[in-house]
Amino acid sequence: YSRFTTKFLTTQLSATHTHHTPHLSVEMATIEQSGATPPAIPRRTMDDIRSINKTRGLAVAVRPQYFPSTLPSALCPRCEPPEREKGEKGEKKSDDRDGPSNSSAKKSRKGQNKKRPRDAKLPPDPISSLCMSMVRTGTCPYTDCRFSHDVASALKCRPVDLGDTCVIYEEFGRCPFGLKCRWGGSHIDKGTGANLSDPEKERTHERQSETVLNATETKTMQLLRRNKYPFSTARNCTTFTPTPELWGGVTPPKMPSLPEFRPNKRDPDDVVEAMRLRHEEEAAEIRRRHKEEVEEFERGRAEAASTTGLPSKTRPLIDFSNKVYVAPLTTVGNLPFRRVLKSLGADITCAEMALCANILQGQTSELALLKRHKDEDVFGVQLAGGYPDQFVRVAELIEKEGMSVDFIDMNCGCPLDLVCD
């Protein structure tokens, strides 16, 4: 109904404004030729439109309450908003609607606001900038340390403790955070700021830490990660060949270089012949010595080959008959789980499956799978690998590091691409 009313009024208004009587058109032309100002044509109101349509028989029976009091937006003259005047460099001038501003021009809001207000640089906090070596031991081994060594200033600016007892100090006898600990009132000297320790608790913790065996040293992991661990077995070899380091031999001797014979052309023939004979004798002596060294080396290799290629070590055989054996359970059979099963009557325990490739890369999470508790009487580890040299190198690592392992379970059927590829 409203669409019909709008369309009807639009049609009638356009016809009313464009249709003029002939005598009015003649009068307008005469005025334009004389140069006088034409009279203003009065705009018709809604009442005039209603009366015209009613006389022409085009009116519609519409109740007065449904007529709009104002014209719709489609019938109003279109007004474009005035454009703001642009200043230099594309900046827009501010008007009254923008509110009061200190500057006459407003910066364009594009990109990073580099002139935004910034906080003033505060002086470094004496607590957070304190050197950790000074906190733990009271001395710093570095001559060009970039951290603060002013313990007295840090002690004055130290905030109030959050509690009275430091749980790390109570458990291990020493807190590594020292002056920075928020519960440090129990292990900080209030006069000097030194980090105190309890020797009795430290010894107790050391005794407790000895219950877990096969812990890998940090130096060993660093050598593995840098691929510089002194393995005796060559890498990527299909068969295991004992190297001289294993059976105590020496490397094969190399043929030394023979001296060259360069006679002087100005010397007489008898002198050149004597020099040639002496040169041949020296070369023959060098060859004879090299032959003796090679024969001695071959005898040593034959003696080593007659015995075993690996270092001689006697290991007792493990009797698995009528024993409760805890199989290697990945993501389940960790050390606490095996301790629980050991307390419930298990006889033989085996660690989770460990990948040889990850162990040779020095991964901490993989080396942790080789740990053993002292309550585990018979303990073994399971190794998974896709190549023989990986098993040999991991076994050599276990032997050299002195890990307590009774047997090795070789997993040769794992179909994972991580293992086989």
pLDDT, tens digit, for every residue of 353-392? 999 999 999 999 999 999 999 889 999 999 998 888 888 8
User: In Å, how far are 7, 71, 321, 394 from 12, measured between CA atoms?
Assistant: 9, 13, 111, 99
- Stretch 262-280: mean pLDDT: 83
The pTM of this model reads 0.44
**Residue 385 in contact with residue 357, Cβ under 8 Å?**
yes
pLDDT higher than threshold 90 for residue 117:
no
Rounded CA gap, 395 and 317, in Å?
A: 17
| Lowest mean per-residue pLDDT among 17-26, 198-207, 249-258 | 17-26
pLDDT higher than threshold 70 for residue 89:
no
Rounded CA gap, 405 and 397, in Å?
A: 12
Given 140, 166, 181, 414, which residue is catalytic?
414
Is residue 414 flagged as an active site residue? yes
Model pLDDT, residue 254: 77
- Stretch 175-194: mean pLDDT: 87
- Stretch 108-123: mean pLDDT: 72
Radius of gyration of the chain (CA): 50
User: In Å, how far are 171, 212, 222, 403, 414 from 205, measured between CA atoms?
Assistant: 8, 12, 26, 21, 40
Rounded CA gap, 195 and 178, in Å?
A: 5
- 3-state DSSP call for residue 15? helix
Residues of 255-274 as b/e, b for ≥16 C-beta within 10 angstroms? eeeeeeeeeeeeeeeeeeee
